[in-house]
Structure 1
Amino acid sequence: MKAVPKQTTMAIQSYKNQAHMLVKNYLLADPFLPYTSILCGILACKVVYDLTDLISSFYIKTYPGLTKIQRVDWNIRAISTTHAIFVSTLSLYFVFWSDLFSDPQLSGLTVFRSSTLSTFGLGVSLGYFFSDLAMTLWQYPALGGIEYVIHHILSGIAVAYSMFTGEAQLYTYMVLISEVTTPEIHLRWYLDTAGMKKSIAYLINGIVIFIGWLIARVLLFGYMFYHVYLHYDQVMKMHTFGYVLVFGVPSALGILNMMWFGKIIRGLVKTLAKRRSRTKEADTDN
């Protein structure tokens, strides 16, 4: 086996150094970081969409039989699920485990703290909201009604403001924890589309959605407002627009969450009632 020429090795190392400088001085530099992260989020959405379409065509028997809009919805839900896993994991880390917002020895007020990672994460999330909102409006109302559009617009504005200004990133991540319920919601749709609405998996998924929604989209919102109350002296020092967002966006999203929670409860009760009725009929036949 021939050894790699020294000149080739030096050339490769030179390219590596140039790439490292490009990433460090431009792509991840503070002035460019938000735009880089947004672009990464949009590109990630495109990659997940194409991979989902390719994999589903080969391995999901029911996928080729779906209508065009159902296949688009199928692939978009895969994007949403991927984003939810990413952003909810990052949010849980920053809110409950990271010292960025909890360490009293760090300089600066809590509402003004940020880091390269926290800003990058918000940018990726913003890229997703842009992409998903664009697809929703393009296929409106097949992929979601007006409440879905309002949710994405409000979320996008809040995330963008927090990312570009560095204000209230803690509260933004608190709200984004609610995305932990998204994979279960999409799994319910997948089970229904696959004709498994009467399966035990569908019932268990409904119970998990109820519990997850109660914790992440009802109780956690209450905790967020309690945290704002405890740190109100800091919140008052934010810019007026940021102050309005801290109270306005979570309140509006909280109302939407309660509306959807009511639908979840009614759906779960209906499913349990049907299963109880089928069980009684089976016992009677026996």
Structure 2
Amino acid sequence: MDANTKLVISTFFTSFVIFQLLFYFVSSWFSAKVSSSYNSLSHEKKIEWNSRVVSTCHSLVVGIFGLYIVFFDEATIADPLWGDPSLVKVNLAIASGYAISDLLLLILYWEVIGDIFFVIHHCTMLYAYQFVLRGGMLAYLGNFRLLAELSSPFVNQRWFFEALKYPKFSKANVINGILMTVVFFMVRIATMPPFYSYIYSVFGTEAFMRLGFVIQCSWIGTCVILDVMNVMWMIKISRGCFKVISLFRQEKASNSFQNGKLD
């Protein structure tokens, strides 16, 4: 077993253990320090809260690391299909450790946080990542897909505000909702045209043919599945955002009108 493989395996298991520790121990301690309302939440709410804290930590780690690789890892930039996958493997090992950890939590607490779409998402993601982790191909593109995780902190923050009973039209809630919609679009929807344009540009080339038929179909197929889910989520998020902005404007106009009458 070479040093690279040992690093990937150790990173994977370390990631799994750390995210489990975050869920069962660190999140509850940290959350109680940050928000006094945490202790008053129901047992079910605390389970989902801790799950989302872990999700946010994972998203920030792999998202920021992913951005660095996208812009500064010359080896993978030069050859997105067959470039040196060393840094990408570490990032995907972290993401894979989280995915297994989260799948375990989804199963153990299915009645509280179970969601078939998340199971499909995680399993599809793990299937796609193993091509990079085992074969070393598609490193840059696999990492590029990880940038989608940068939207998760805003999605989770919306849930935290709801759990803490923040008013729907509070400035913090509205700002987070707008940022969530914008960032989700940028990292999950706006990235689709360049990604599929690249697939089209390399289709049929020698480097593409070297992947083999199974990997070609799996690569494109898993991306299509994930992007269909991303579009579904984007539609849902956009509708919610537009609804909140519309109601916020109506409430603001109503308050202005009432204040005008009082004057």
- What TM-score does the superposition give when structure 2 sets the normalisation length? 0.91
Q: Give the equivalent residue in structure 2 for 1:22.
A: none
Letter in 1 for 2:30: I
Secondary structure of the equivalent of 1:195? Answer: coil
Distance in 1 separating the partners of 2:177 and 2:67: 23
Letter in 2 for 1:153: C
Q: Is the 8 A contact 1:213 1:261 kept in 2?
A: yes
Residue 190 (str. 1) matches residue 163 (str. 2): no
Q: Give the equivalent residue in structure 2 for 1:112.
A: 82
Q: Which of 68, 75, 94 is residue 124 of structure 1 equivalent to?
A: 94
Letter in 2 for 1:267: G
Q: Is the 8 A contact 2:202 2:208 kept in 1?
A: yes
| Superposition deviation, residue 219 in structure 1 | 1.3
Distance in 2 separating the partners of 1:186 and 1:60: 15
Residue 97 (str. 1) matches residue 69 (str. 2): no
Q: Is the 8 A contact 1:207 1:268 kept in 2?
A: yes
| Superposition deviation, residue 280 in structure 1 | 2.4
Distance in 1 separating the partners of 2:164 and 2:247: 19
Residue 237 (str. 1) matches residue 210 (str. 2): yes
Residue 213 (str. 1) matches residue 184 (str. 2): yes
Which structure is larger by alpha-carbon Rg, 1 or 2?
1
- What TM-score does the superposition give when structure 1 sets the normalisation length? 0.84
Q: Give the equivalent residue in structure 1 for 2:138.
A: 168
Letter in 2 for 1:239: G
Q: Give the equivalent residue in structure 1 for 2:103.
A: 133
Q: Cα RMSD (Å) of the superposition? A: 1.7
Secondary structure of the equivalent of 2:75? Answer: coil
Q: Is the 8 A contact 1:167 1:242 kept in 2?
A: no
Distance in 1 separating the partners of 2:112 and 2:90: 31
Residue 148 (str. 1) matches residue 118 (str. 2): yes
Q: Is the 8 A contact 2:70 2:140 kept in 1?
A: yes
Indicate how the Cα distance of structure 1 residues 141 and 153 shifts in structure 2: closer, same or farther if over 3 A, else same: farther
Distance in 1 separating the partners of 2:219 and 2:208: 8
Distance in 2 separating the partners of 1:115 and 1:273: 46
| Superposition deviation, residue 34 in structure 1 | 2.6
Distance in 1 separating the partners of 2:239 and 2:77: 39
Indicate how the Cα distance of structure 1 residues 165 and 141 shifts in structure 2: closer, same or farther if over 3 A, else same: farther
Q: Deviations for 1:219-251, whole angstroms, at most 9, x for unmatched residues?
A: 112211111222221222103332122201111
Residue 247 (str. 1) matches residue 217 (str. 2): no
Identity value in percent: 23
Distance in 1 separating the partners of 2:155 and 2:224: 22
Indicate how the Cα distance of structure 1 residues 218 and 72 shifts in structure 2: closer, same or farther if over 3 A, else same: same
Q: Which runs of 5+ in 2 are unaligned?
A: none
Distance in 1 separating the partners of 2:72 and 2:201: 20
Q: Which of 19, 26, 29 is residue 54 of structure 1 equivalent to?
A: 29
| Superposition deviation, residue 144 in structure 1 | 4.1
Residue 262 (str. 1) matches residue 232 (str. 2): no
Secondary structure of the equivalent of 2:70? Answer: helix
Structure richer in helix, relative to its length: 2
Q: Give the equivalent residue in structure 1 for 2:7.
A: 33
Q: Is the 8 A contact 1:171 1:246 kept in 2?
A: no
Q: Which runs of 5+ in 1 are unaligned?
A: 1-25, 104-108
Residue 79 (str. 1) matches residue 49 (str. 2): no
Q: Kindly tell me the number of residue pairs found equivalent between the two proteins.
A: 255
Q: Give the equivalent residue in structure 2 for 1:159.
A: 129
Q: Is the 8 A contact 1:73 1:143 kept in 2?
A: yes
Q: Is the 8 A contact 2:76 2:82 kept in 1?
A: no
Indicate how the Cα distance of structure 1 residues 178 and 244 shifts in structure 2: closer, same or farther if over 3 A, else same: same
Letter in 1 for 2:107: L
Indicate how the Cα distance of structure 1 residues 216 and 56 shifts in structure 2: closer, same or farther if over 3 A, else same: same
Q: Give the equivalent residue in structure 1 for 2:199.
A: 228
